[in-house]
């Protein structure tokens, strides 16, 4: 992604992305060897980021209204598991949201995956290596 992509993304979704998220994406973590394992879990193209965030903002998540302060940065779309940030979070925390139980579509589970982007990446790599 390039900086102009963020401008389009912010305009399309009517949001203001945190500068620390932009820096994280612009440092091109996807080219770093330790990030190779997470290429499939972080959305690194503008079209996917806009599409996924628009869809969940319009439709909600498991019939729950979506908080406009939340922004999806990655996940497993087909499984309804997403990684997200809070747009106004100065601490850079990254969270996951997923169905609590595949048979109960009314409950969701939210977990913190890292207090900042580096901790998030390290934790995701550990999980992926265990699969």
pLDDT digits over 7-30, tens only?
Answer: 999 999 999 999 888 888 887 555
Residue 33 reports pLDDT greater than 60: no
Residue 85 reports pLDDT greater than 80: yes
Which uninterrupted H or E stretch holds 6? Answer: helix 3-13
Which uninterrupted H or E stretch holds 76? Answer: strand 70-76
Position 35 scores a pLDDT of: 57
Confidence of residue 92 (pLDDT cuts 50, 70, 90): confident
What the block records as the tokens of 35 is 């990030």
**pLDDT mean over 19-46:** 71
Position 51 scores a pLDDT of: 95
pTM: 0.82
Domains along the chain with CATH numbers: 3-130 (3.40.1580)
Query: With contact defined as beta carbons under 8 Å apart, do 87 and 16 qualify?
Result: yes
Token pair 């620390």 is found at: 20
Residue 46: phi and psi, rounded to 5, are -60, -40
């Amino acid at each position: 992604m390039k900086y102009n992509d963020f401008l389009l993304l912010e305009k399309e979704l009517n949001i203001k992305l945190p500068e620390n998220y932009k820096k994280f994406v612009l440092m091109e973590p996807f080219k770093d060897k330790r990030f190779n394992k997470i290429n499939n879990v972080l959305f690194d193209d503008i079209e996917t980021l806009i599409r996924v965030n628009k869809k969940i903002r319009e439709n909600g998540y498991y019939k729950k209204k979506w908080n406009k302060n939340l922004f999806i940065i990655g996940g497993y779309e087909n499984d309804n598991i997403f990684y997200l940030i809070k747009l106004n979070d100065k601490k850079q925390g990254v969270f996951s949201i997923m169905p609590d139980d595949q048979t109960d579509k009314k409950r969701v589970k939210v977990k913190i995956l890292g207090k900042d982007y580096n901790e998030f990446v390290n934790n995701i790599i550990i999980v992926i290596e265990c699969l």
